[in-house]
């Protein structure tokens, strides 16, 4: 039987979760992690998704370092440690995900028949010995895998829930709330960090207000449960970042450092591959989300210290 968990070591673990796909879970995980690392935080990202899309966002797809989730799956099924990919960016390490995690799902589901708490705590036992090496750990949860979602939130101190503002997307929040409730027995410190509205139109103020009210009602909380910052819709930026293996702020920096039109015209420089104009705006949105994540966690930690 694994030793008792040191929950304090997991105080900076965030599960980015929603039962629906296409709500920017991986985008938020990669870009929040990348921005934190760029600002000096030591960050670990855990890709629990068999689709392994975090590799595309960070540019290590088909790299020798990408084992498509085999090391992570083995550690979750059989215990013991696993080594993340080191320095995918300065200060940023990653547990790679991918199709091999389907084996972990099957293995943990079987284990749950004999040891339900042990199956739920597989991710927690993996992270607890190494959590002290990092200032923040973010887990990218799969959209439809109940077993891995449960293991993720059982390891996390915080749940961060991205959601689109439309009614259909908000329906998935009920499943998220149920998933959080299901692990309270093994993870009593789990709390909701907040809900992030994503893929929104910048002028859709009425839609945003109504979405905030509905989400607050669902979680039996005030409107502050929803982050102030939102992430605007930009399909062009999403495609450009994944095609190039760049984070949004990296794409924005690349565009800003690129040659001016007059330098290209007089032959002093070559034109860059076209990049979307929205990259700068989306980078600003993601920076605001990152700052709010840090502010919310810092405020909660200060409040706990005073209690």
Mean pLDDT (the chain, rounded) = 87
- The CA distance from 70 to 102, in Å, is 10
Q: Please, are residues 131 and 5 in contact by the beta-carbon 8 Å criterion?
A: no
What digits encode the pLDDT tens for the residues 154-164?
999 999 999 98
Report field, pTM of the whole predicted structure over 0.75: yes
CA–CA separation, 116 vs 12, rounded Å? 24
Alpha-helix residue ranges (DSSP H) falling in the chain: 25-38, 54-58, 70-78, 101-114, 116-120, 122-127, 146-155, 167-170, 172-182, 205-218, 235-244, 248-257, 261-265, 279-306
pLDDT, one tens digit per residue, over 74-128 is: 999 998 778 999 999 999 999 999 999 999 999 999 999 999 999 999 999 999 9
Q: 168 in helix, strand or coil?
A: helix
User: Taking the CB of residue 108, how many other CB atoms lie within 10 A of it?
Assistant: 23
Give the integer Cα–Cα distance in Å for 16 and 207.
23
Q: How far apart are CA 97 and CA 21, in angstroms?
A: 16
DSSP secondary structure letters along 40-63: T--EEEEE--TT-THHHHHT-TTS
In the chain, what are the domains? Answer: 7-305 (3.40.50.300)
Sign, CA torsion 291/276/22/225: positive
Report how far residue 298's alpha carbon sits from residue 294's, in angstroms, rounded to the nearest whole number: 6
Residue pair 139/15 in contact (Cβ under 8 Å)? The answer is: yes
| DSSP one-letter string for 2-21 | PPPP-GGGGTTEEEE--SSS
Contacts (Cβ under 8 Å, ≥6 apart) of 88? 45, 58, 60, 65, 94
Phi-psi region of 233 (alpha: psi -120 to 50; beta: other; left: phi over 0): beta
According to DSSP, the residues that pair with 138 across neighbouring strands are 14, 45
Which residues, in sequence order, are bridge partners of residue 137? 13, 44
Q: Of all helices (H) and strands (E), which one includes residue 162?
A: strand 158-163
- Checking DSSP bridges between strand 85-89 and strand 92-95, what pairing results, if any? antiparallel
- Exposed e or buried b per residue across 134-152, where buried means at least 16 C-beta atoms within 10 angstroms of its C-beta: bbbbbbbbbbebebbbbbb
- How many other CB atoms sit within 10 Å of the CB of residue 96? 28
Mean pLDDT along residues 16-39: 93
Taking only the tens place, the pLDDT of each residue in 182-225 is: 999 999 999 999 999 998 876 667 888 888 888 888 887 777 89
pLDDT at 278: 63
> In this predicted model, what pLDDT tens digit does every residue of 250-302 receive, in sequence order?
888 876 665 544 444 555 545 455 555 567 788 899 999 999 999 999 999 99
Residue 39 DSSP SS3: coil
- Position 118 scores a pLDDT of 93
Q: Tokens for 221?
A: 């909380």
Query: Which DSSP state fits 133?
Result: G
């Amino acid at each position: 039987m694994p030793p008792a968990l040191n929950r304090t070591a997991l105080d900076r673990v965030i599960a980015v979760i929603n039962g629906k796909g296409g709500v920017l879970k991986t985008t938020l995980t990669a870009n929040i992690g990348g921005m934190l690392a760029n600002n000096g935080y030591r960050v670990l990202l855990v890709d629990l998704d068999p689709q392994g899309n975090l590799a595309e966002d960070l540019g290590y797809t088909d790299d020798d370092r990408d084992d498509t989730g085999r090391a992570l799956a083995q550690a979750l099924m059989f215990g013991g440690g696993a080594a993340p990919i080191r320095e995918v960016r300065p200060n940023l390490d990653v547990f790679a995900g991918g199709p091999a995690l389907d084996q972990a799902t099957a293995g943990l589901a079987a284990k749950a028949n004999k040891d339900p708490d042990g199956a739920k705590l597989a991710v927690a036992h993996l992270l607890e010995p190494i959590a002290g090496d990092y200032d923040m750990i973010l887990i990218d949860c799969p959209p439809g895998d109940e077993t891995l979602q449960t293991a993720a939130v059982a390891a996390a101190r915080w749940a961060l829930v991205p959601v689109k503002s439309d009614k259909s997307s908000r329906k998935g929040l009920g499943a998220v709330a149920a998933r959080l409730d299901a692990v309270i027995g093994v993870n009593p410190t789990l709390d909701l960090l907040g809900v992030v509205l994503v893929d929104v139109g910048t002028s859709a103020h009425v839609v945003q207000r109504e979405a905030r009210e509905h989400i607050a009602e669902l979680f039996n909380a005030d409107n502050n449960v929803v982050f102030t910052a939102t992430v605007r819709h930009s399909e062009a930026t999403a495609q450009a970042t994944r095609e190039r293996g760049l984070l949004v702020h990296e794409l924005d920096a690349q565009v800003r450092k690129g040659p001016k039109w007059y330098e290209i015209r007089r032959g002093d420089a070559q034109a860059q591959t076209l990049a979307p104009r929205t990259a700068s705006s989306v980078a600003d949105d993601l920076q605001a989300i990152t700052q709010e994540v840090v502010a919310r966690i810092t405020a909660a930690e200060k409040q706990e210290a005073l209690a």
